[in-house]
Amino acid sequence: MSTPVSSIRNLGPAVEEACARSGIRSAEELRELGAHEGYRRMLLCGTRPHFIVYYVLHMALQGRPWNDCEGKEKEALRTRFDQLKSEVSRSTDKGRSALEAALDAIGVIERPKRPS
């Protein structure tokens, strides 16, 4: 039996919907993936990047209040968020849709062959 994503403290219907669009169907699956990978999949499927959602996801999976992220920890998460946003932007800017980029990221579609 699976538990809804929205059963995790501080995660509501909007995050649950973004997770569903990215193929994450349960709280257990999100916990297994972790906040960073889960958010990466959401971005690849069209979720607009927002730092607060990124760090709330981290806090939620640690069982902490959403506003418990401060100081150096928040700065470190901001750095990781910016790197992730840049990585996803590069992967979706190659003339592919966000869906194609997501399928490529999980190895479902073939990459174009490079000329020899």
Q: Which domains does the chain have, with CATH numbers?
A: 5-105 (1.10.150.20)
Q: What is the pLDDT of residue 33?
A: 96
Please tell me the distance from the alpha carbon of residue 109 to that of residue 22, in angstroms, as a whole number.
Answer: 16
Low-confidence ranges of the chain (pLDDT < 70): 92-98, 100-102, 104-105, 107, 109-116
- Whole-angstrom CA distances from 100 to 6, 61, 103, 104 are 27, 28, 5, 6
